Amino acid sequence: MTVCRDCCCGSRTKHPAVDHDAQLGDLRAALEPDHRVRTSLCLDVCSQSNVMVVQPSPAARRQGARPVWFGLVLDDAVVDDLVAWIRAGGPGVAGLPAVLELSVVAPPA
Task: Looking at 1-109, list the stretches that DSSP marks H as alpha helix, in order from N- to C-terminal side.
Answer: 20-31, 58-62, 76-87, 98-101
Cβ-contact 73, 36 below 8 angstroms: no
Closest alpha carbon to 32 in 76, 86, 100:
86
Binding site for ligand FES (CB under 6 A): 4, 6-9, 42-46, 49, 51
Closest to ligand FES by CB, 14 vs 35, is: 14
Q: How buried is 88 (Cβ within 10 angstroms: 0-12 exposed, 13-18 middle, 19+ buried)?
A: exposed
Least separation in angstroms between residue 104's CB and ligand FES is 15
Least separation in angstroms between residue 37's CB and ligand FES is 15
Closest to ligand FES by CB, 14 vs 57, is: 14
Closest to ligand FES by CB, 14 vs 28, is: 14
Least separation in angstroms between residue 13's CB and ligand FES is 12
